[in-house]
Structure 1
Amino acid sequence: MEQMRQALEHRSVLPDGRFVTFREFSMEEDVERLYTWMHKEHVIPFWQLNLPWDTFLSHVDRSINDAHQRMWIGVIENVPMSYWETYEAKDDIIGRYYDAAAHDKGIHLLFGPESYLGRGLAEPMVEQMLNVIYQDEKVEKVLAEPDIENKKMIHVFLKCGFQPVKPIDLPDKTGLLMVHYHRRGGENIDS
């Protein structure tokens, strides 16, 4: 199990010299932490998963068993501090809004503890997660669809090289569809 876990971890160094690790979400280790994070005031408006415990457990169980996505915990210097989802765009609801290629991925994230907010960590961590995603050489694009009201996250994605495409009306929010190109620059997604 430990060898398998090692294969699912990605470790790199942030610009400030601290180590960041992305590891697979573990129901046993992480579900209570994620429940707490989803009930934080800075998370609720953008995730809307401040659910009762049993409902939340059912949601996470469905998510962890959903083959089109992977759940990650971002760890800085051995302290879990962020939650990430990467997903197959063609199999996600986002695939209804653009013609997803077979290997296009998407990304969602949140920082849990307030002590990590406003410290300039989002940009380098998004860049590190992009490095993780692009380890699969078939991936050419990564999508994001931050809430159109989440100006901070939109700013972070822009600084990381994502390009805005268009606002999209999703069931739980109006998002800004954004795309990051790995090998080819300046292309447009069919709107």
Structure 2
Amino acid sequence: MTFTFRPLDPPRDAALLHRWVTHPKAAFWMMRDASVEDVERAYREIAADEHHHALLGLDEYGVPAFLMEKYDPAHRELTGLYEPRPGDVGMHFLTPATDHPVHGFTRAVITAVMAHLFEDPATARVVVEPDVRNKAVHALNEAVGFVPEREIDKPEKKALLSFCTREQFAAATGVAV
């Protein structure tokens, strides 16, 4: 599977994102009760934030297939919860619910997301902080090279702080970055 990325356009993409983030499968996204307007507002805030960016992953036909966020953990999400290093980049991703799952799709998505992040030579390490209860994403993270460090308490959840270096990603996936 091949994916490309484009910046998320909040007014244009809000209805699509609303369907994705309010689905029961997206419970860990914590937007289940959001309105379309709430989703658009949240992503307008991200679009205006120099330390946080939202991108849509597009399939080979240019159709939106997943959501990716990248952020500077020294300024967003993890401020004060760990000691950031130069080159750290935080990441979230969401694959939408589907009635026709494709085997290996989510693994292909996280691999593409990581490869995209490591295309930037300034990215030395990717940081994630998924909910400790989200066992499915922990398994995906480990499959692409993430190593859990410890649990942390965020205002909205207990999270598993994990890291993946460029070398760990390449060793786990065979993708040269």
- TM-score for both structures, normalised by structure 2: 0.86
Gapped runs of 5+ residues in structure 2?
Answer: 170-177
Q: In the alignment, is residue 75 of structure 1 matched against residue 58 of structure 2?
A: yes
Alpha-carbon shift at residue 40 of structure 1 (Å):
0.6
Kept in 2: contact 1:163–1:180 (CA 8 A): yes
Alpha-carbon shift at residue 152 of structure 1 (Å):
0.5
How many residue pairs get aligned? The number is: 167
Superposed CA offset, 1:67-92 (max 9, x none): 10110111222221211101111111
Return closer, same or farther for 1:35/1:174 CA change in 2, 3 Å cut-off.
same
User: What is aligned with 1:139?
Assistant: 123
Kept in 1: contact 2:15–2:36 (CA 8 A): no
CA distance in 2, matches of 1:105, 1:116: 32
What fraction of aligned residue pairs are identical, expressed as a percent?
23
CA distance in 2, matches of 1:164, 1:184: 12
Kept in 1: contact 2:20–2:96 (CA 8 A): yes
Gapped runs of 5+ residues in structure 1?
Answer: 1-13, 186-191
2:103 counterpart SS class? coil
CA distance in 1, matches of 2:164, 2:56: 22
CA distance in 1, matches of 2:145, 2:12: 33
Alpha-carbon shift at residue 64 of structure 1 (Å):
1.4
User: What is aligned with 1:53?
Assistant: 36
CA distance in 2, matches of 1:117, 1:105: 29
Q: 1:98 aligned to 61, 82, 97, which one?
A: 82
User: What is aligned with 2:146?
Assistant: 162
Superposed CA offset, 1:114-138 (max 9, x none): 2465622222221221111112212
CA distance in 2, matches of 1:42, 1:171: 22
CA distance in 1, matches of 2:37, 2:59: 29
CA distance in 2, matches of 1:154, 1:136: 24
1:89 counterpart SS class? coil
Q: In the alignment, is residue 149 of structure 1 matched against residue 147 of structure 2?
A: no
Q: In the alignment, is residue 174 of structure 1 matched against residue 162 of structure 2?
A: no
CA distance in 2, matches of 1:47, 1:177: 16
- TM-score for both structures, normalised by structure 1: 0.80
Kept in 2: contact 1:90–1:102 (CA 8 A): no
